[in-house]
């Protein structure tokens, strides 16, 4: 995987000064991690386990150096180019950046959420990684920034995209759309989407999806989806 920018700065001479030996920079290790979840120079399919903070030494080093915004841009590049062997490491890295102590790093991570987590399965994975990191870092996840980012993920989609998102992946890893909407205190972008009440089972059943007869039909279906997703017994 070619690195963005000038690649000549990605390697430095080792501590012995030997011309034939090179140390790998943290930036290069980060790219390896984002590509296949390991900082090692050899990839094997056996390494396709669950990503943890133990695999992200270079990522942590870059964050400690104040290069969080640069890390987020690299995560975005891997996610958008589709060059990674698996997407999990990118979601883990984004979750870690979103809980970093530096404000600019957190802001950059939440701003990039919609570009990196482009479908519901990605969003569920991101939230799950944040939950797991919460236990090790002793910090909460459902702060104002995350609530706004999740709300924007739903509310800033058009009718067709939203209907596809909530029906393509209804739940993943113990998380559902109802969970995220409830915990983020999300409200519909327009009042008309909460006027009607429908059964969750029927509303999100693939068999109830409308025929492709135009945007108006998808708008009506999305209104039904919204009205049920935002409807919870009691108040938020």
Banded model confidence at residue 17, pLDDT cuts 50, 70, 90:
low
Q: Which residues of 91-108 are buried (b: 16+ CB within 10 A; e: fewer)?
A: bbbbbbbbbbeeeebbbb
Instruction: Assess contact for 209 and 225: CB atoms under 8 A.
Output: no
Highest mean predicted confidence (pLDDT) among 44-48, 95-99, 226-230: 95-99
More confident residue, 39 or 206: 39
Residues 111-131: tens digit of each pLDDT = 999 999 999 999 999 999 999
Q: What is the pLDDT of residue 48?
A: 60
Q: Say whether 11 sits in a helix, a strand or coil.
A: strand
Q: What is the pLDDT of residue 212?
A: 34
Q: Length of the chain in residues, anyone?
A: 236
> In the chain, which ranges are continuous DSSP H helix?
26-36, 57-64, 68-81, 88-98, 103-111, 113-116, 120-137, 144-155, 159-168, 177-183, 200-203, 215-229
Q: Which residues contact 40 (CB under 8 A, 6 or more apart)?
A: 32
Sorted by where each begins, the domain ranges of the chain are 1-141, 158-236
What tokens does 36 get?
Answer: 């296949």
Residues 156-212: tens digit of each pLDDT = 988 888 888 888 999 998 999 999 999 999 887 765 444 322 333 344 444 444 333
């Amino acid at each position: 995987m070619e690195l963005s920018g000038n690649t000549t700065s990605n390697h430095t001479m080792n501590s012995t000064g030997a011309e034939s030996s090179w140390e790998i920079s943290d930036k290069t290790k980060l790219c390896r991690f984002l590509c296949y979840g390991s900082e090692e120079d050899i990839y094997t399919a056996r390494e396709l386990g669950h990503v943890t903070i133990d695999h992200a030494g270079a990522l942590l080093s870059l964050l400690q150096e104040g290069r969080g915004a640069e890390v987020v841009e690299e995560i975005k590049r891997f996610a958008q180019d589709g060059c990674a062997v698996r997407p999990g490491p990118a979601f883990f890295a984004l979750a870690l950046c979103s809980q970093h102590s530096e404000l600019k790093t957190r802001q950059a991570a939440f701003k990039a959420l919609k570009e990196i987590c482009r479908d519901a399965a990605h969003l569920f994975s991101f939230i799950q990684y944040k939950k797991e990191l919460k236990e090790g870092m002793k910090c909460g996840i459902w702060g104002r920034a995350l609530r706004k980012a999740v709300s924007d993920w739903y509310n800033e989609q058009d009718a067709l995209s939203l209907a596809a998102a909530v029906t393509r992946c209804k739940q993943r890893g113990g998380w559902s759309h109802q969970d995220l909407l409830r915990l983020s205190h999300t409200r519909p972008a327009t009042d008309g989407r909460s006027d009607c009440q429908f059964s969750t089972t029927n509303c999100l059943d693939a068999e109830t999806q409308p025929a492709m007869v135009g945007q108006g039909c998808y708008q009506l279906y999305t209104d039904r989806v919204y009205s049920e997703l935002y409807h919870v017994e009691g108040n938020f």
